[in-house]
């Protein structure tokens, strides 16, 4: 059966309450699981207290069920700079800023907007959640003065956001400058190393490069020229792959030998008991003879040398791998003597700058056109997915509330989780030369995708079917219908914020996925010493290129609907509060950020720019709605629309002045880090 527009609107509150109960219950379960497991699984919930070097270890939190919370909140966030770098600190600072912003948003809208939207207006058939939005206000002469409150509040909130942005940018510049001149950072080679790409042919020698950079104060200490080494890179990669194969084969032989030895030991013990308890001394033999006896040749690991190990000659894996490694070592030595090797790959004074460079991309040609084409294809596919509607399922109550309130945001979140791998691959094939710059590229693309396909298209398409039908039935009321439908999509974004904010933050604390992966690796994949070392000693890290776009999208949603539906502000405040708690816990107790992914806080200015996008969307939507109302009602709405255009201009001017003030300094500090 079909679902009418009235039934769809009537189910808004039911869908929202279903999502609230489901995600609230999930949050309680996740937090309860964290409280029960954190003291008995320190490897998952507090590895920073014992795995890193002593000078980078975190203080262990109290084992009480609740005393850990004030201790965690009381810790200085600046300690994270020493443990996990400036990126981690600025993420926490970004979350703290958004908490203050949405706290003010919530207070202002709940004290002003909700009373204006509700008090003195009789119910008109809308459900409770819709009554709290501005669609509850009639556009007649009696009530149109209520819309002036929305103008006043959006002006105040915009100025407050601009003030917070200015304040946080000043703090960012101060903290980044201190980070760059700190002793711990200045000792790293990356603070004194510059990567230059696309060098002209006439400068591709040390003498010309020193002459070209002679104007630099203090001069140049050393010059490393990376030359094209495709063949050597292939040999190194092949040698690494064969070493892994050899390690796996040797571990298999040792396991077989250990099992056979224990069997022989039990047989020997039984014979000793039968002979009166006297022990028989075994003759001294070499380890090779013991292995040969315990693991006969037919039981040793073998493989085929052809395609995917399915075709070709069948060989003994250990003997073949040792021979191949010896041959590759000889070839590599000969290649180095020939002069094709880049000395920079083995002579950099610190691993930090070395690991940050994507060496393969220094040798590859650009595939930018292919990357763009793949990117467009991925966007089109996601666009088709985001347009799917569940209203046509026609399920009976209470299933529609569960499906409409929980399933769409969950499917959207699942789709978004599949995209980052593709974006990282696109950045890789663009031949970006540094891992940190790859992460920045992924951040920009991912946020753009979320903004367009996760917000704008969903906001428009959520009411597209109703809009087309209304245009056919009542073409003279089209403009008024558009003005009423734009705010109605806020219900979907409320449920999405619940899924991402409450349940998502709780999942970050509970660490269910890392917990499951840890035990899968521990029980099934401990086949080599490298795997055992990774499971036992390597700590996880956060990918801020994927985390910050999601946080920025929630801020954009909150800004866009801050005045249209004030309930969004409250749940944005709760979501960011939970995220702040979760990430402060993870960054102090769990995560160990990789040095090659550190950008020195350069995600923060991009996240600040994303906030301006949210402000623009909120102001443009309000201006459009006022002008749409003016076409069918009082001309006083024209004045309201013009005031919104003035606010858009003021926001653009502030954006320009802030960019002009901070952009040059940020660029200099960025170059100082690279």
Domain ranges, ordered by start, for the chain = 69-187+414-673, 230-274+286-341
Give the integer Cα–Cα distance in Å for 222 and 348.
10
Which pLDDT tens digit goes with each residue over 144-198? 788 888 899 999 999 999 999 999 999 998 888 888 777 766 666 666 677 776 7
Residue 389 has pLDDT above 60, yes or no: no
Residue 11 · residue 405 · CB < 8 Å: no
pLDDT the model gives residue 102: 95
User: Alpha-carbon dihedral of residues 120, 122, 123, 129, nearest 10 degrees?
Assistant: -10
Q: Per residue, what are the HEC states of 421-472?
A: HHHHHHHHHCCCCEHHHHHHHHHHHHHHHHHHHHHHHHHHHCCHHHHHHHHH
Report for 66-70, 131-135, 226-230: range of highest mean pLDDT? 66-70
Q: What is the band of 368 on the pLDDT scale with cuts at 50, 70, 90?
A: very low
Q: What is the band of 616 on the pLDDT scale with cuts at 50, 70, 90?
A: very high
pLDDT the model gives residue 552: 92
Cα–chain-centroid distance for residue 501? 14
**What phi and psi values does residue 282 have, to the nearest 5 degrees?**
-80, 140
Give the integer Cα–Cα distance in Å for 154 and 562.
8
pLDDT the model gives residue 131: 76
Q: What is the band of 114 on the pLDDT scale with cuts at 50, 70, 90?
A: confident
Residue 363 · residue 345 · CB < 8 Å: no
Q: Which residue has the tokens 């660490």?
A: 511
Which pLDDT tens digit goes with each residue over 619-661? 988 888 888 777 656 678 888 889 999 999 999 999 999 888 8
Residue 132 has pLDDT above 90, yes or no: no
User: Alpha-carbon dihedral of residues 509, 47, 550, 114, nearest 10 degrees?
Assistant: 30
pLDDT the model gives residue 155: 95
Residue 56 · residue 82 · CB < 8 Å: yes
Task: Give which of 458, 650, 568, 438 is closest to 129, Cα–Cα.
Answer: 568
Roughly how many angstroms between the first and final C-alpha of the chain, as a whole number?
A: 61
Report for 93-97, 500-504, 590-594: range of highest mean pLDDT? 93-97
Burial class (CB in 10 A: 0-12, 13-18, 19+), 143: middle
- Expressed in percent and rounded to 5, the helix, strand and coil fractions of the chain are 75, 0, 25
Three-state DSSP class for 415? helix
Spatial neighbors of 290 by CB under 8 A, at least 6 apart, are 257, 261
In the predicted model, what is the mean pLDDT of the chain? 76
Q: 11 or 133: which carries more pLDDT confidence?
A: 133
- 602: which 2 tokens? 């350069």
Q: Which residue has the tokens 């949050």?
A: 27
Q: Has this prediction a pTM greater than 0.85?
A: no
Give the integer Cα–Cα distance in Å for 553 and 410.
16
Percentage of residues in the chain having pLDDT higher than 70: 70
Give the integer Cα–Cα distance in Å for 585 and 432.
33
**Measured CA distances, 460 to 16, 228, 455 (Å):** 19, 50, 9
Give the integer Cα–Cα distance in Å for 108 and 436.
40
Q: Which residue has the tokens 């209520």?
A: 146
């Amino acid at each position: 059966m079909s679902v009418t527009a009235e039934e769809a609107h009537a189910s808004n509150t039911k869908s929202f309450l279903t999502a609230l109960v489901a995600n609230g219950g999930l949050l309680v379960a996740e937090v309860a699981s964290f409280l029960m497991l954190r003291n008995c699984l320190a490897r998952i919930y507090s590895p920073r207290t014992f795995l890193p070097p002593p000078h980078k270890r975190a203080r262990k939190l109290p084992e009480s069920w609740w005393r850990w919370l004030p201790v965690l909140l009381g810790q200085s966030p600046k300690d994270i700079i020493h443990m996990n770098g400036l990126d981690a600190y600025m993420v926490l600072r970004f979350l703290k800023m958004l908490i203050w912003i949405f706290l003010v948003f919530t207070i202002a809208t709940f004290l002003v907007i909700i009373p204006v939207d509700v008090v003195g207006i009789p119910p008109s058939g809308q459900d409770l959640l819709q009554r709290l939005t501005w669609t509850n206000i009639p556009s007649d002469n009696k009530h149109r003065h209520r819309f002036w409150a929305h103008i006043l509040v959006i002006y105040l909130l915009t100025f407050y956001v601009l003030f917070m942005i200015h304040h946080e940018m000043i703090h960012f510049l101060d903290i980044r400058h201190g980070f760059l001149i700190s002793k711990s950072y200045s000792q790293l080679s990356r603070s004194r190393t510059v990567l230059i790409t696309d060098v002209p042919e006439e400068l591709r020698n040390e003498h010309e490069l020193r002459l070209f950079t002679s104007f630099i104060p203090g001069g140049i200490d050393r010059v490393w020229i990376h030359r094209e080494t495709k063949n050597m890179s292939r040999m190194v990669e092949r040698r690494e792959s064969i070493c892994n194969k050899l390690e796996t084969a040797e571990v298999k032989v040792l396991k077989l030998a250990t099992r056979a030895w224990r069997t022989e030991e039990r047989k020997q013990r039984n014979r000793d008991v039968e002979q009166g308890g006297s022990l028989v001394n075994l003759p001294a033999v070499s380890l090779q003879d013991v292995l040969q006896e315990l693991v006969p040749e037919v039981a040793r690991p073998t493989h085929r040398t052809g395609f995917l190990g399915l075709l070709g000659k069948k060989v003994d894996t250990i003997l073949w791998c040792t021979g191949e490694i010896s041959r590759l070592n000889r070839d590599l030595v000969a290649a180095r003597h020939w002069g094709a090797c880049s000395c920079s790959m083995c002579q950099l004074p610190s691993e930090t700058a070395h690991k940050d460079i994507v060496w393969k991309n220094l040798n590859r040609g650009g595939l930018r056109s292919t990357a763009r084409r793949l990117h467009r294809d991925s966007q089109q596919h996601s666009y088709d997915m985001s347009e799917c509607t569940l209203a046509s399922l026609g399920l009976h109550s209470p299933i529609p509330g569960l499906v409409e309130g929980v399933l769409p945001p969950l499917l959207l979140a699942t789709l978004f989780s599949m995209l980052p791998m593709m974006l990282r691959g696109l950045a890789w094939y663009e031949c970006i030369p540094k891992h940190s710059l790859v992460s920045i590229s992924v951040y920009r693309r991912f946020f753009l995708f979320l903004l367009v396909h996760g917000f704008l298209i969903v906001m428009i398409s959520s009411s597209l079917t109703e809009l087309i039908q209304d245009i056919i039935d009542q073409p003279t009321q089209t403009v008024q219908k558009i003005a009423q439908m734009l705010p109605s999509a806020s219900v979907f974004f409320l449920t999405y914020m619940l899924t991402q904010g409450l349940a998502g933050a709780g999942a970050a604390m509970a660490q269910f996925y890392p917990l499951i992966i840890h035990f899968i690796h521990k029980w099934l994949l401990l086949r080599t010493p490298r795997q055992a070392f990774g499971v036992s000693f390597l700590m996880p890290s956060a990918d801020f290129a994927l985390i910050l776009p999601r946080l920025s999208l929630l801020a954009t949603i909150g800004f866009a609907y801050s005045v249209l539906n004030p309930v969004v502000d409250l749940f944005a405040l709760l979501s960011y509060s939970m995220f702040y708690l979760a990430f402060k816990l993870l960054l102090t107790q769990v995560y160990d950020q990789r040095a090659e992914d550190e950008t020195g806080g350069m995600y923060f200015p991009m996240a600040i720019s994303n906030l301006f996008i949210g402000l623009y969307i909120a102001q443009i939507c309000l201006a459009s709605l006022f002008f749409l109302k003016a076409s069918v009602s009082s001309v006083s709405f024209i004045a309201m629309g013009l005031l919104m255009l003035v606010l858009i201009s003021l926001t653009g001017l502030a954006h320009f002045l802030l960019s002009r003030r901070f952009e040059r300094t940020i660029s200099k500090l960025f170059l100082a880090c690279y």
